[in-house]
Each structure stands twice: as C-alpha cells, then as structure tokens.
C-alpha cells in the first residue's frame, strides 16, 4: 500500500511539476519578451530618415546599457544595401541580418551568433516615412538573466515538490501503519488464542474491523461447540458400548450355555448404538452446507415402501403438498422419517397416517398411529437412549433418540402428542424449509 501510494504520488507530482514548469517558464519568458518588445516599439516609433538617408532617432533609448560595450542589451537597424546602424553596446559586433524573409510582425527567436553569449532577439521590418525600403529593427538581450531566473524557478519547484512528495509519502506511510494497527493487534490476539492464553478476541475494534472480529469469535465458539459435541459423542458411544461388552465378557468368562445368543443380542445392540452415533456424526458434518436440501415427497414415498415391506399388514397413508423441500440432507431425512414411520407401524394397531405441511419457515411432519399411545408423563423420558415402553417387541429404544438428535442438529424439533383422529400417538417433527 505504501509503495503504491508513493509511486502514485511521484507520478502525479512529476506530471504536475512538469506542467507548472511549462506554465511558469512561459510566463517568465513572455515577461522578458514584453520588455524587449517595448524597446523595439519605442525604437521604430522614434526613428526618422535623415538628410543623407541615414536612420536617426528623435529620442534615444533611455537604458544606459545600450551605451556600454558588450553590456548584453543591443539594438540594430538594417536594410538591404545599407550600412547597419548599431547601438554602441554592440561595439565591433553586428547582429545577423537575413534577407530570406520579411518580418511584418514581431519575430522572436534565440540566437547563438556570438560564441560567448546566447541572445534573445526580437525583430520587425518597418517602412519609415520618406523611405522606399523596409528597415529591420532588431533588439537583442543576453539570455543569461532569463536562464538564471528559469533555473532559480526550477530549483524552487524541484525542492518544493520533493519536499511535498516526501511529506505525502511519510503521511501515507503513517496512515497505512496506523490504519493497519488493528490488524496487527488482531494477529496478536489470534496468536494468544492459538497459544491458549485467551478464549476469544476481546476489546473494541474500529468499525471496519469489528464485523470480522465478530465472525472470528462466532467461528471460535462454533469450533468449541463442535469439539465439545465430538467429546460428548465419543463419551456417549464408549458408555453405550461398555455395557454390552461387559455382558459378553461375563458370559464368555462364565462359559455360559447361551453365549452365542448373548453375543448376537449384544452385538445387535452395539451395532444400533454405532449406527445412532454415525447418523449424528453425518448430520453434524453436513449441517454447515448451504446446499443441503431434500425433496420431502420422494423421501416419504421411499420410506413408505420400505416400511410396507417390513410390515405388510400395516396401512400407511400420506397427505400434503408434493413440492416441499427441507434444509436437510436426504439421507438424514430418510433416517428420521424411517424411524418415526417404522415405530408407528411397529407399535400401532395397523394404521399409520402421515401429514406434511409448511408453517412459518418450517416443514411440519405429523406421524399418527392407532396404537396405545404414550402416557404424557413418559413422553420426555422416551427420548432417552435405550428407553422402551413396550419390551415385548424387538428394538433398542434408539429410534426416537436418533430423530431428536438429528432434528436438533438441523435446528428442528420433535414432540409427542395424542392423535385426535386415530387415538394413538402423534409425533410432530418440524424441520427448516429450504428457500
């Protein structure tokens, strides 16, 4: 940033300085020429033709330098075939007189006809009263004074612009250093976070940096929640597997007759626990995806077909719009609907009814059955892992726990109520709608 600012400052000041030099140099030169033009005008307005055809002046130029030899200020009157009339300051030198052109207007040019002196020359051709020829009036002055003034002007410009450039570059550097100081502080805070010296970025920040700090703190909190969630799941899985493993170890140690049945039963329990935690892990990994969405009706029809093959005597009906989508991965939606509809078919009396609808940014699923239902006082405890109210049918008591955990990961909810139409249990699942 400092290098770019310095380069841009130098380019702008160089361009501005060049333009200003042209303007001021032209102004100084024009002022120099105006003074010579005044002298030139006074010469031919006061000139007359004498009795012998010579040029005489009714009044001589007042500047004393015209009388001092080699003073640097000269005049001369010339004509073709006539002897030149020079100022005394020219002494033994003469200004060059060219007949290749006629200067009816003032002609200005620089001349190097004198080896030791550069001249600025103004000349004009004038026909004097009583004369048939045109006389060329010339005024010349040494460029030393003009060049000296231009050099002083340029030195002043260069020094001023260099000082201005230095000041602007220093200011840009200080501004950049001061403006980026919050980022250096943020870098130090992040280093402290990585070193475990703090838990989040504290302190006030400028308005331009504050949103980034808020996002960083939100990311840190999100990572902490995920890490805590991972630790909790690992502990839960270890705890869930510990009991079946203990049962298998005890049966193997005691050389029980039903060891094979025990191993199969407990292995099935462990597999269900592993499936449960894998479902949670998949949902946690996918919930951050902005593209996770699933069509409701294809998933519902797929689950209905699968459950109908397991329970051919159960009638499953569904109703609702066919174009709804949820902000959930398809596999997780199948997992939740599969558990709910399978439980309704398993514990119901032969009829299952699923209603789907949209409500305030959510898609609501109502799964009803005609079974015995669940007492109100048991509706909270039933979500705990391994809790089963009907132990006469096969199962592990993890279905509702999986539904609740996966729904909460996607910021959804699940609740149990009594079905008014079928008389059994009504499970109300709410998942965010995909927009």
Residue 341's Cβ-count burial label (10 Å; 0-12, 13-18, 19+) is: buried
Looking at the structure, do residues 309 and 279 belong to the same domain, yes or no?
no
Cα separation, 200 vs 398, in Å, equals: 37
Cα separation, 256 vs 253, in Å, equals: 8
Asked whether residue 170 is assigned to any structural domain, the reply reads: no
Asked whether residue 169 is assigned to any structural domain, the reply reads: no
Among residues 83, 115, 150, which one ends one of the domains? 150
CATH of the domain at 372: 3.30.565.10
Please report where in the chains the tokens 């699940």 appear, as a residue: 414
Asked whether residue 23 is assigned to any structural domain, the reply reads: yes
pLDDT of residue 429: 94
Looking at the structure, do residues 368 and 276 belong to the same domain, yes or no?
no
pLDDT of residue 390: 47
Looking at the structure, do residues 276 and 304 belong to the same domain, yes or no?
no
Cα separation, 387 vs 277, in Å, equals: 16
Asked whether residue 190 is assigned to any structural domain, the reply reads: no
Residue 64 tokens read as 């004393």
Asked whether residue 218 is assigned to any structural domain, the reply reads: no
Cα separation, 394 vs 396, in Å, equals: 7
- Scanning 255-375, the segments in alpha helix (DSSP H) are 259-286, 296-310, 330-347
The segments of the chain whose pLDDT lies below 50 read 289-290, 385-397
Asked whether residue 230 is assigned to any structural domain, the reply reads: yes
Task: Determine contact, residues 86/75, Cβ cutoff 8 Å.
Answer: yes
Asked whether residue 215 is assigned to any structural domain, the reply reads: no
Cα separation, 432 vs 435, in Å, equals: 9
Handedness of CA 121, 125, 128, 131 (dihedral sign): positive
Looking at the structure, do residues 392 and 281 belong to the same domain, yes or no?
no
Looking at the structure, do residues 278 and 304 belong to the same domain, yes or no?
no
Asked whether residue 173 is assigned to any structural domain, the reply reads: no
* Helix H or strand E segment including 235: helix 210-254
| 319 bridge partner residues | 355
Count how many domains the chain has: 3
Q: What is the 3-state composition of the chain as percent helix, strand, coil, each rounded to the nearest 5? A: 50, 20, 30
What number of other Cβ atoms are within 10 A of residue 343's Cβ?
Answer: 21
Looking at the structure, do residues 359 and 264 belong to the same domain, yes or no?
no
Phi then psi for residue 147, to 5 deg, are -65, -35
pLDDT of residue 284: 64
CATH of the domain at 67: 3.30.450
3-state secondary structure the chain: CHHHHHHHHHHHHHHHHHHHHHHHHHHHHHHHHHHHHHHHHHHHHCEEECCCCCEEECCCCCCHHHHCCCCCEEEEEECCCCCCEECHHHCCCCCCCCCCCCCCCCEEEEEEEECCEEEEEEEEEEECCCCCCEEEEEEEEECHHHHHHHHHHHHHHHHHHHHHHHHHHHHHHHHHHHHCHHHHHHHHHHHHHHCCCCCCCCCCCCCCCHHHHHHHHHHHHHHHHHHHHHHHHHHHHHHHHHHHHHHHHHHHHHCCCCHHHHHHHHHHHHHHHHHHHHHHHHHHHHCCCCCCCEEHHHHHHHHHHHHHHHCCCCEEEEECCCCCEECCCHHHHHHHHHHHHHHHHHHCCCEEEEEEEEECCEEEEEEEECCCCCCHHHCCHHHCCCCCCCCCCCCCCCHHHHHHHHHHHCCCEEEEEECCCCCCEEEEEEEEECC
Looking at the structure, do residues 97 and 121 belong to the same domain, yes or no?
yes
Looking at the structure, do residues 281 and 298 belong to the same domain, yes or no?
no
Looking at the structure, do residues 146 and 22 belong to the same domain, yes or no?
yes
Looking at the structure, do residues 13 and 135 belong to the same domain, yes or no?
yes
pLDDT in tens, 166-176: 999 999 999 98
Task: Determine contact, residues 160/17, Cβ cutoff 8 Å.
Answer: no
Q: What is the span of the domain harbouring residue 427?
A: 294-432
Among residues 95, 120, 150, which one ends one of the domains? 150
User: pTM of the predicted model, to two decimals?
Assistant: 0.51
Looking at the structure, do residues 7 and 145 belong to the same domain, yes or no?
yes
Among residues 150, 168, 184, which one ends one of the domains? 150
What DSSP string describes 78-97?
A: E-TTS--EE-GGGTT-----
Looking at the structure, do residues 332 and 236 belong to the same domain, yes or no?
no
Cα separation, 157 vs 18, in Å, equals: 9
């Amino acid at each position: 940033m400092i290098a770019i600012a310095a380069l841009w400052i130098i380019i702008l000041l160089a361009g501005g300085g060049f333009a200003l030099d042209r303007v001021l140099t032209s102004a100084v030169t024009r002022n120099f020429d105006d003074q010579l033009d005044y002298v030139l005008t006074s010469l031919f307005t006061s000139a007359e033709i004498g009795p012998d055809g010579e040029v005489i002046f009714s009044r001589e130029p007042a500047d004393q330098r015209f009388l001092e030899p080699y003073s640097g200020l000269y005049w001369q009157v010339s004509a073709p075939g006539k002897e030149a009339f020079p100022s005394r300051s020219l002494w033994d030198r003469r200004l060059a007189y060219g007949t290749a052109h006629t200067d009816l207007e003032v002609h200005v040019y620089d001349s190097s006809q004198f080896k030791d002196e550069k001249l600025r020359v103004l000349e004009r051709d004038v026909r004097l009263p009583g004369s048939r020829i045109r006389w060329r009036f010339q005024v010349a002055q040494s460029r030393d004074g003009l060049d000296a003034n231009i050099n002083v002007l340029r030195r002043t410009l260069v020094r001023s612009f260099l000082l201005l450039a230095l000041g602007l570059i220093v200011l840009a550097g200080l501004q950049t250093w001061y403006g980026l100081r919050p980022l250096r502080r943020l870098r130090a805070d992040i280093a402290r976070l990585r070193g475990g010296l703090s838990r989040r970025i504290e302190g006030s920040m400028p308005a331009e940096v504050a949103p980034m700090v808020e996002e960083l703190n939100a990311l840190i909190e999100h990572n902490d929640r995920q890490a805590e969630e991972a630790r909790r799941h690992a502990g839960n899985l270890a705890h869930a597997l510990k009991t079946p493993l203990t049962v298998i170890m005890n049966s193997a140690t005691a050389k029980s007759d039903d060891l094979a049945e025990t191993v199969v039963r407990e292995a099935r329990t462990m597999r269900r626990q592993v499936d449960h935690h894998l479902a949670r892990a998949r949902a946690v990994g996918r919930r951050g995806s902005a593209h996770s969405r699933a069509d409701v009706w294809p998933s519902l029809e797929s689950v209905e077909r699968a459950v109908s093959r397991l329970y051919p005597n159960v009638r499953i009906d569904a109703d609702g719009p066919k174009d709804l989508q949820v902000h959930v991965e398809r596999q997780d939606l199948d997992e939740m609907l599969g558990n709910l509809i399978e439980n309704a078919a398993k514990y119901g009396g032969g009829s299952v009814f699923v209603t789907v609808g949209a409500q305030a940014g959510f898609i609501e699923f109502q799964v009803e059955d005609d079974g015995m239902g669940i007492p109100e006082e048991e509706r909270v405890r039933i979500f705990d892992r391994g809790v089963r109210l009907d132990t006469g049918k096969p199962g592990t008591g993890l279905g509702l726990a999986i539904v609740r955990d996966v729904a909460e990961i996607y910021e959804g909810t699940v609740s149990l109520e009594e079905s008014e139409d079928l008389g059994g249990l009504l499970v109300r699942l709410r998942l965010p709608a995909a927009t």
